[in-house]
Chains A and B, each alone.
Chain A
Amino acid sequence: MSTHLDITGLLDLQTLQESVILLEPEHFDRATQLSRSATNEPHQWRSYINGLALYGFVDWLEARAADLTPLQPQSVSVLDAVCNLAVGDFTLCLIVTESVAEELVTVPTVVELPEFSAHLYVLLEVQEEQEQIVLRGCLRYDQLLHYQQTNHLLAQPDQTYTLPLDWFDPDSSHLLFYLRFLEPSTLALPAIPSQLDQVPSLSLPQSITEGLRLPRLNQSIINVWNWSQNLLDATAQSLLWSMPQPLTPTFAMRRSPDKVEAALQDLQHQGIDLPPQAHYAHTTLEGTSFQFCTVTWLTSTDQPSQEWALLFILVAQPGKVIPVGTTLQVSTSSVLADTVLAEVTLETMDLYLYVLVEGNQHEAFTPTILPPNAVAVTLPTFTCYPNSAP
């Protein structure tokens, strides 16, 4: 007898408040794939369970509130939490557990840090064998602070806090109402230190840093949404990108000594269709022989699915060459692990490398340059997400 869809069982109002999220085979496939990016037990199982939690939760959110679209997080999933899940203007942190029998919740102290703090902490219990997730409750940031102060919460030796289950509001519709009706500004989060800070502002416990991918604390994110207005976001400015400009109609006609423009012209001659609304910007990668150019445009403006395109071009700096065998790789960050979408390697006669990708609003793309005999250069992650300020 399936207890899964308990249609025949008795209903009471308390069970109305609970949310049991059913997991589909697709969730398991993706979670398994995700777990492969971790190098060992127990990190693989952790990634797997966190993946199930994330994918299940995102689908649940879609079903209960289709207009609140989540943006996948950038952080790594080997902690007991999945951080930086953006839903509208809110930042969520999913605290993932496999059991609540102790009525205690273990939260890594990392979630206090500005980079990982969230407006809303959502507790999810993953019941792997039963193929479901129970949404156990949510805790607001202001409540967490208040409880911490009144209860003198101490960190455990393993860099975690132990919170009573009671602190979490078990009514899942309250979470949805918060997301819909509250202003994030009323849950003021601590400010994140500026991106120019080169020193990582936290030291992860050794158990986490051993043998696995580190969270990309210094990974920058460039939002190209305002490039159509020739505006750079703060990150791109700090990384010394040129101001975005459109491709002018006469562009393709004249010969340009500049390598970036020469490449653009060549691409157009080759038949790559660069629409009139496309804008491009470029930067010199210090300490290498490369210049990098990004061209971007929106491919369709039909709501709700907005598609956008990115054309990445790698050229050499003036007076230098790109080593043969250099590879340009583009990965997508729309899942927690990066999946390589496209890859191209320089042959003897080429003067530049390019990759063209398309995606929807939720997707983010990270280019990486792999020179044949040198260390890889990872570029910022590119997103195209409407927000109020560039």
Chain B
Amino acid sequence: MVMMNESSKYWKLVRIDSADQGRGYKLQSIPVAQEFFGENFPESTNHLVVREDRVYRQLFNLLRETADDEADRFEAELCLRCYVSYPILQSCMRRVRLFGSANGFTYRDLLSFVLNDDGKRFNGGFVPFSLKILHSFSPDQTCSLGGWVDLRVKRNPDLNRFLLEQGLNFTSDWALLNRANPRYLAGIDRDLVEVFHLVYRRDRRQQNRQGTQQKCLDPTNEQLQEMMQWLRQRQVLVDSTSVLNQLKRLAQVLRQEDIWGRRGFPVAEPLETTDPNTGETSFKDIPDDDSTSDIEASERSELQQFCYEQLLHSLDQGIRQAIGDRVHSLKQRPRYTQLAHQVKPALRLLYFEGKSQEQIALMLGMTNQSQVSRILNPKELLVTIRQRTLEALLHDILEKVRELKIVDFPVSPDYFSNLMQQLDTFVDEQVFQAAAAEMNAGRNRSMESLFAQRLRQILNE
């Protein structure tokens, strides 16, 4: 994510950025908010860490107290509008994680529904989503503002309509019914699903898979007849057309539940508690994992220095290994063995001559589209290179840590986890953010990133 110091969250607004190869968002400074924040929260701007919830609760107080001073109200609200734009973005990313993986849409597609604040005065027309969130938040409840934002994003009707449409394209009714758990249903719905499972799942397992991603077919008449008979045994009398319609209806219900949550809208969240006296529901925040290990400042800078020194070497090693991995894994699959020796030539065509996949396929004599993808798959290669680079770095750093006797060996899992995360950030900042951006740039990319340069170097070996 974006690395920045704490207080800028209160005066930099996350906004949609529709530039093609960008991340889809940008940070816009709002001077008026910055000034206001600096005046009212001097300790934050001096880089003293203040608890987040104290800051935003204070801002809410200012909103209430300065009811007369319109300018102050606007500015306090502006700070809050900036603050919530970050969790809005993060919620979109989370939703995509759950529903978008390899579905063909990314968090960028969700932003327009919820990240629509332009940072200007509200003049009675369009209400940005951030304002709706702020106006519905009660600072007295135990739920954090971030948690509230997440809940509101998850319940945004426009966003959910989009997810539903995408889901319709991605998952068939029958797959949805297949994976449904009858225990969460009651009455006829439960019978329908159980009976569906008996017949449809059985036949689905028998299907001969050709690797063509065969969608679940509509139930046949025979299948429906069989289901009908099972239902009869359970004292449920329907004709076979009704069975089909009922199944489709149920599939719609399941789709809605996937997106809105199982228990209806508004839904009970996990770890939500209801106060029996007031009937109010609030969240139990999951406590943050404390980072337990503390590296001395001097040791940290020595390690940092070491990281920089080792980076190129590790990257080179990573590239070599990843290419080797690709070749090896192709050789393992009988279907693709003969393609293994085409890996390097294909990569050279891509990274030296900037050829497109179609051109590469032609030049290497391949007719099958999936073959090209198997060999080239630059994204997968990038993932593997990143992994191997991190492995090389981790290995060297652990050696160094051992040498410098910074911690006891074997290292504790928490220490190792912290190290992993720090190195993640490091390599992404130094190499892989640029590499990913370059890969997104499409046909006219120049491919001069550090990553591309080292890759070409290695390909020439």
CB pair A13 B201 closer than 8 Å:
no
A18–B172 alpha-carbon span in the complex (Å):
24
A9–B373 alpha-carbon span in the complex (Å):
13
**Chain A 202-240 per-residue mask, 1 if CB under 8 angstroms from chain B, else 0:** 000000000000000000000000000000000000000
Stretch in A173-181, A243-251, A290-298, A379-387 with 4+ CB within 8 Å of B: A173-181
CB pair A128 B106 closer than 8 Å:
no
Within 8 A of B (CB), among A141-190: 142-143, 150-151, 158, 162, 164, 166, 170-171, 173-174, 176-178, 180-183, 185-187
A5–B372 alpha-carbon span in the complex (Å):
11
Q: Chain B nearest CB: distance from A103 CB in Å?
A: 7
CB pair A66 B410 closer than 8 Å:
no
A103–B151 alpha-carbon span in the complex (Å):
13
B175: contacting residue among A32, A128, A183, CB under 8 A? A128
Instruction: Name B322's closest neighbour in chain A (CB-CB).
Output: A64
Q: Chain B nearest CB: distance from A149 CB in Å?
A: 11
A183–B413 alpha-carbon span in the complex (Å):
9
CB pair A164 B286 closer than 8 Å:
yes
CB pair B98 A13 closer than 8 Å:
no
B101: contacting residue among A7, A134, A164, A182, CB under 8 A? A134
CB pair A164 B211 closer than 8 Å:
no
Residues of A within 8 A of B328 (CB): 66
Indicate if A44 sits at the interface (CB-CB under 8 A).
Answer: yes
A128-B178, A174-B420 given as contacts; is B329 within 8 A of A44 (CB)?
Answer: no
Q: Chain B nearest CB: distance from A48 CB in Å?
A: 6
Instruction: Name B213's closest neighbour in chain A (CB-CB).
Output: A131
CB pair B329 A62 closer than 8 Å:
yes
Indicate if B141 sits at the interface (CB-CB under 8 A).
Answer: no
CB pair B201 A45 closer than 8 Å:
yes
B98: contacting residue among A4, A103, A162, CB under 8 A? A103
Instruction: Name B167's closest neighbour in chain A (CB-CB).
Output: A101
Indicate if A348 sits at the interface (CB-CB under 8 A).
Answer: no
CB pair A16 B383 closer than 8 Å:
yes
- Interface footprint category on B: 35 or more
CB pair A16 B270 closer than 8 Å:
no
Indicate if B249 sits at the interface (CB-CB under 8 A).
Answer: no
Residues of B within 8 A of A266 (CB): none
Indicate if A11 sits at the interface (CB-CB under 8 A).
Answer: yes
CB pair A63 B436 closer than 8 Å:
no
Indicate if A6 sits at the interface (CB-CB under 8 A).
Answer: yes
CB pair A25 B384 closer than 8 Å:
no
CB pair B270 A186 closer than 8 Å:
no
A2-B213, A62-B332 given as contacts; is B432 within 8 A of A181 (CB)?
Answer: no
CB pair B378 A7 closer than 8 Å:
yes
CB pair A101 B102 closer than 8 Å:
no
**Chain A 1-32 per-residue mask, 1 if CB under 8 angstroms from chain B, else 0:** 11111110111111110111000110011011
CB pair A164 B258 closer than 8 Å:
no
Indicate if A347 sits at the interface (CB-CB under 8 A).
Answer: no
Within 8 A of B (CB), among A268-317: none
Stretch in B28-36, B115-123, B303-311, B386-394 with 4+ CB within 8 Å of A: B386-394
A3-B103, A164-B270, A181-B394 given as contacts; is B201 within 8 A of A44 (CB)?
Answer: yes
Within 8 A of B (CB), among A65-113: 66, 98-104
A101: contacting residue among B99, B107, B383, CB under 8 A? B99
A28–B205 alpha-carbon span in the complex (Å):
8
A7: contacting residue among B205, B210, B289, B377, CB under 8 A? B377
Instruction: Name B380's closest neighbour in chain A (CB-CB).
Output: A5
Q: Chain B nearest CB: distance from A199 CB in Å?
A: 31
Residues of A within 8 A of B424 (CB): 171
Indicate if A130 sits at the interface (CB-CB under 8 A).
Answer: yes
Instruction: Name A147's closest neighbour in chain B (CB-CB).
Output: B286
A66: contacting residue among B205, B325, B395, CB under 8 A? B325
B410: contacting residue among A3, A19, A29, A183, CB under 8 A? A183
A134–B23 alpha-carbon span in the complex (Å):
23
A14-B93, A129-B216 given as contacts; is B179 within 8 A of A99 (CB)?
Answer: yes
Indicate if A132 sits at the interface (CB-CB under 8 A).
Answer: yes
A154–B445 alpha-carbon span in the complex (Å):
54
Q: Chain A nearest CB: distance from B400 CB in Å?
A: 14
CB pair A25 B410 closer than 8 Å:
no
CB pair A173 B387 closer than 8 Å:
yes
Instruction: Name A180's closest neighbour in chain B (CB-CB).
Output: B391
Specify which of B21, B23, B357, B410 lies most central, judged by the most chain A CB atoms within 10 Å of its CB: B410
Indicate if B271 sits at the interface (CB-CB under 8 A).
Answer: yes
Q: Chain B nearest CB: distance from A253 CB in Å?
A: 47
Q: Chain A nearest CB: distance from B308 CB in Å?
A: 20
A199–B256 alpha-carbon span in the complex (Å):
47
Q: Chain A nearest CB: distance from B2 CB in Å?
A: 11
CB pair A129 B215 closer than 8 Å:
yes
Q: Chain A nearest CB: distance from B208 CB in Å?
A: 8
Residues of B within 8 A of A62 (CB): 329, 332
Known A6-B104, A177-B420, A181-B398; further 15 A-B contacts with Cβ < 8 A: A3-B103, A12-B106, A14-B93, A18-B97, A44-B201, A44-B205, A45-B178, A101-B259, A102-B262, A102-B270, A104-B270, A128-B178, A129-B175, A129-B216, A131-B211
A residues sitting closer than 8 Å to B (CB atoms) are: 1-7, 9-16, 18-20, 24-25, 28-29, 31-32, 35, 41-42, 44-45, 48, 62-64, 66, 98-104, 128-132, 134, 140, 142-143, 150-151, 158, 162, 164, 166, 170-171, 173-174, 176-178, 180-183, 185-187
Interchain Cβ contacts under 8 Å between A and B, 25 examples = A11-B440, A14-B93, A14-B97, A15-B379, A16-B382, A16-B432, A16-B436, A18-B101, A24-B211, A32-B205, A44-B202, A63-B325, A63-B332, A128-B175, A129-B171, A129-B172, A129-B174, A130-B171, A134-B102, A143-B413, A150-B287, A177-B416, A186-B410, A186-B411, A186-B413
Which 8 pairs across A and B sit closest by C-beta, in order of nearness?
Answer: A129-B175, A98-B179, A183-B410, A101-B258, A3-B104, A28-B209, A5-B373, A25-B209
